[in-house]
Structure 1
């Protein structure tokens, strides 16, 4: 174990505030109106990431943008391929693909622009967001948020008393707890936990442990245990031997506390009058909960269906965003998946079914080559260990779900990539070239355009979402004439078409209704929509929120 020395510079107050906002707000963002609840948080993350990058460039007057040209060429090619393979053009999906890649690229440069001065604030912000989310999850788990609170209406209620904070999904919340643990270990190794902060230090670790247990997430449990074990034997550098010992002690307590609370917390929660059903811990779910082919909602059934669909069009795939429509319209063998299908619950399967096997395998090979070249087994500095820890948590989660369609995970992924990238020497020719590229009007204009498009899309989504909400919750401009809010919608025209079809299906000409339904089916392949596309007597459309 070696020690770290060196002065610590401080960022400007504006950049520090931007770092805290970019890392905290996306995890706690409360507003998620239909038709696509993940979109508001995604757009908020993009805007804050662009502002953080701009603040860093303005304050440091320099930047490091490595391999930008190649990344932008690849992004352009992916957008062209996705647009070519789309049966119905969906600007929201294309914009989502472009914005997601840009978010990872820009976030990776934030840590490279100001690694020493920015990372401390980012880790403290992530730890704070995780601890606050754990407190909200505790209210949900104990039944105190069974219904929305009138005086805290922005907190998400949990009718089934599941712990997920503001993320509305247990596995996402479990991964947040593991990401927070990695940040806690980094701060401990860097000597950030001074004597006056000891109470906050151990209270935050206890909050993360309680949150991980309450999530009952098997994915979160796996990453939590692995991080705790790696902290015991991985030869990571620290500021001093005492700080190295403190990090190891914290990891040991986190692991021991997790195992004990998995046994105690469910029994304690079940004794409360508000809890109606017995609660199982993540460890019990590992042993008792099956994922077999005979259970229609299991991931195994879904994976088998997605694999079968990918083999029907192995070369080019079904098209970007077409999995749900393909699953609803194509015949598959065996027990049919009966759960809500939003994605393949596996990043690789999601890629092969929509992009085809050749392109997906090329991407997988490039990812493996990129990983091997950076030699994660040689990571020793706290920064590189933190980066690989964050990548590991997101990678494991991506084997079971699609976390990268959510803004805060994109931000953390980009930060992690920046942490493990080798830093060029300040006097090298390559460093001078990359700084010149980042200062160029092209780079700054691209980020500015991304920010403006994100703001434009936010306004577009606000107008589309009005039609899906009860009249009392709509804005004044949309309460009396909700259809007028759908005029001139550009990005989310699929949601607009769905609303128009559900409101006017009975009054449209049959040919018009069928043409509109054929477009809507690729956005929401519901039975009543598919019935209209086949020119059959349609099932009733869902009641509109008039």
Structure 2
């Protein structure tokens, strides 16, 4: 006899806590711990662990909740709206595989991540109607809070004793005096620490942690956010203050702490400023950034201006999912930022430039509906989960206006889960009385089993991608006993998920003077991230295959980046003998005679 998921669940909340807590740690803490990475991606293992961990947890939750009473789940509007957002994103990613030539692996990964987020949100929504929603919030906040405990330790080491950061267990800070955690990116680490502060505050509110411990953790997380020197983290203090203002049910001392979050941040800043001047060799990255003369927007204003121009050129259907980098790189932007951007650093602009303005407006409206549902209307009997969830989700939204955290599984999936919990908690407040059992429409057992199977697919997919990734990693960081490079590339090109990474090694492999790969060899890898090396190789390929004028157009785009590798490629054009002789000059030394769109210079 096979077990039924509706009757094989733990008999009490103590059982769910006992099993759920370690699964929450695997989903939320473990992905933030890994410092080791293999090229070509420094975050792949963290992301794969995130999907794997959430898959385990959601499989268990789907099993526990079984085929429950659906009659209390009527207030689904915002959840359905967010579901449409995620389905449309998944469909757009898969559609780009056929419409724009996006590599199948990239399309599947983007679609899979969007559908994973939908499954996580839907599981949270359903589970919150079978299990006390606050108990589920306890689990996710415990995972976030313990991630913060470890994160604060990492931050202390990276800022105050950086010599202990070995790069294997503790990531080395990229800038002296700046905490990056093991996510290796200060803004990412800042968002994680903010979530950790929220988690600790929630656990203190619920009595799961001693109030003093929760308050100390909130203060330490704010201090660690100061150490990241993240401007996004600084702005986020307003969200903690709003939580304290809205949730009048918070314990008095905890509420005052949240209301005073900007002041706590300021106190940490002043303390670090004093410390940096108190001794030789003390470095406070936050203060250093104020005086380094750098662009306060970190080139965001320039990339946003370029993005708006691309939107004007492609207003209705956009350039295609995942194609921003390709379209932007091969479009004429003399005032472009010199870094190679693969994202607009603003989710609304990203939707508009890749999917078109009408689709972007729809996705924005549906997302705003889901967020608005957490913040308004504020009622006296609002479940405490709602303002806590609103704060966590709003942080993801704020960060998404300045970067792209939701393109990373370890941010997207927690956001989806907490959003689902918050909307479920809000729906309970507004729900009608439960109808009699005779009027209930329970899910059938096959549907319950389907939920379990879909959740288990996250585990399978993450494992498959991690195994597939080893072929790409073996190209760029050969294992012991690895075969010749050409053989490793050929094996890598056959892999479903990361074949385009092998294409990059193949296309950029020929040295100067050797025949280039034909333009078709660049067909997949151009859709990933176009950099100087790839632009030079592609320009040579075009020139050697009769498309000389388009090759010169690509070189002109390369010059706009003012990149050292590009300057070296063009150094031959400054030689006296080349300047004097217009005949027989290298192709890169002449201007193109025609003007092209980015699509016209792609492989045919």
Instruction: Report if TM-score (shorter chain) is over 0.5.
Output: yes
Aligned Cα root-mean-square deviation (Å):
3.5
1:54 and 2:59 aligned: yes
Where 1:321 maps in the other structure, the secondary structure is: coil
Q: Distance in 2 between matches of 1:509 and 1:463?
A: 26
Structure 1 residues 443 and 11: alpha-carbon distance in aligned structure 2, compared to 1, 3 A threshold: closer
Matched residues, number: 511
Is the contact between residue 231 and residue 251 of structure 1 (CA under 8 Å) also seen in structure 2? yes
Where 1:237 maps in the other structure, the secondary structure is: coil
User: How do 1:61-76 residues align onto structure 2 when only pairs under 5 Å count?
Assistant: 61-62=66-67, 71=84, 74=88
Is the contact between residue 135 and residue 207 of structure 1 (CA under 8 Å) also seen in structure 2? no
Deviations 1:296-316 (A, max 9, x none): x52111110111112111111
Is the contact between residue 93 and residue 107 of structure 2 (CA under 8 Å) also seen in structure 1? yes
Where 1:18 maps in the other structure, the secondary structure is: helix
Deviation at 1:345, TM superposition (A): 0.9
Structure 1 residues 390 and 531: alpha-carbon distance in aligned structure 2, compared to 1, 3 A threshold: same
Structure 1 residues 450 and 230: alpha-carbon distance in aligned structure 2, compared to 1, 3 A threshold: closer
1:251 and 2:258 aligned: yes
1:355 and 2:390 aligned: no
* Counterpart residue number, 1:95: 108
* Aligned partner of 1:403 among 402, 405, 412: 405
Q: Distance in 1 between matches of 2:442 and 2:281?
A: 58
* Counterpart residue number, 1:326: 327
TM-score of the two chains, using structure 1 as the length reference? 0.83
For structure 2, which runs of at least 5 residues remain unmatched after alignment?
Answer: 1-11, 545-550, 556-564, 567-604
* Counterpart residue number, 1:515: 520
Deviation at 1:317, TM superposition (A): 0.9
Q: Distance in 2 between matches of 1:11 and 1:222?
A: 36
User: How do 1:420-439 residues align onto structure 2 when only pairs under 5 Å count?
Assistant: 420-421=422-423, 422-423=427-428, 433=441, 435-436=443-444, 439=447
* Counterpart residue number, 2:172: 157
Q: Distance in 2 between matches of 1:15 and 1:210?
A: 30
User: How do 1:496-535 residues align onto structure 2 when only pairs under 5 Å count?
Assistant: 496-504=502-510, 510=516, 512-534=517-539, 535=542
Deviation at 1:27, TM superposition (A): 2.1
Is the contact between residue 116 and residue 458 of structure 2 (CA under 8 Å) also seen in structure 1? no
1:303 and 2:309 aligned: no
1:81 and 2:95 aligned: yes
* Counterpart residue number, 1:265: 272
Deviation at 1:401, TM superposition (A): 0.3
* Counterpart residue number, 2:396: 394
Q: Which moved more, 1:412-421 or 1:376-385?
A: 376-385
Is the contact between residue 236 and residue 385 of structure 1 (CA under 8 Å) also seen in structure 2? no
User: How do 1:34-49 residues align onto structure 2 when only pairs under 5 Å count?
Assistant: 34-49=39-54
Is the contact between residue 18 and residue 48 of structure 1 (CA under 8 Å) also seen in structure 2? yes
1:208 and 2:221 aligned: yes
* Aligned partner of 1:488 among 489, 494, 505: 494
User: How do 1:97-496 residues align onto structure 2 when only pairs under 5 Å count?
Assistant: 97-112=110-125, 113=127, 114=131, 115-142=133-160, 144-145=161-162, 148-149=165-166, 153-161=168-176, 162-194=178-210, 198=212, 200-227=213-240, 229-238=241-250, 244-252=251-259, 254-269=261-276, 271=278, 273-275=280-282, 279-281=285-287, 285=290, 290-291=295-296, 298-332=299-333, 335-372=335-372, 376-378=376-378, 380-421=382-423, 422-423=427-428, 433=441, 435-436=443-444, 439-469=447-477, 471=478, 474=479, 476=481, 482-483=488-489, 486=492, 488-496=494-502
Deviation at 1:159, TM superposition (A): 4.1
Deviation at 1:147, TM superposition (A): 7.4
Deviation at 1:491, TM superposition (A): 0.8
Structure 1 residues 370 and 123: alpha-carbon distance in aligned structure 2, compared to 1, 3 A threshold: closer
Structure 1 residues 487 and 311: alpha-carbon distance in aligned structure 2, compared to 1, 3 A threshold: closer
Q: Which one has the largest radius of gyration?
A: 2
Q: Distance in 2 between matches of 1:436 and 1:222?
A: 47
Where 2:518 maps in the other structure, the secondary structure is: helix
Structure 1 residues 291 and 384: alpha-carbon distance in aligned structure 2, compared to 1, 3 A threshold: same
Where 1:331 maps in the other structure, the secondary structure is: coil
Where 1:350 maps in the other structure, the secondary structure is: helix
Where 1:536 maps in the other structure, the secondary structure is: helix
Structure 1 residues 281 and 531: alpha-carbon distance in aligned structure 2, compared to 1, 3 A threshold: closer
* Aligned partner of 1:13 among 18, 24, 46: 18
Where 1:467 maps in the other structure, the secondary structure is: helix
Is the contact between residue 103 and residue 524 of structure 2 (CA under 8 Å) also seen in structure 1? no
For structure 1, which runs of at least 5 residues remain unmatched after alignment?
Answer: 1-6, 239-243, 542-546
Is the contact between residue 345 and residue 398 of structure 1 (CA under 8 Å) also seen in structure 2? yes
Structure 1 residues 16 and 331: alpha-carbon distance in aligned structure 2, compared to 1, 3 A threshold: same
Q: Distance in 2 between matches of 1:35 and 1:427?
A: 55
Deviation at 1:266, TM superposition (A): 3.2
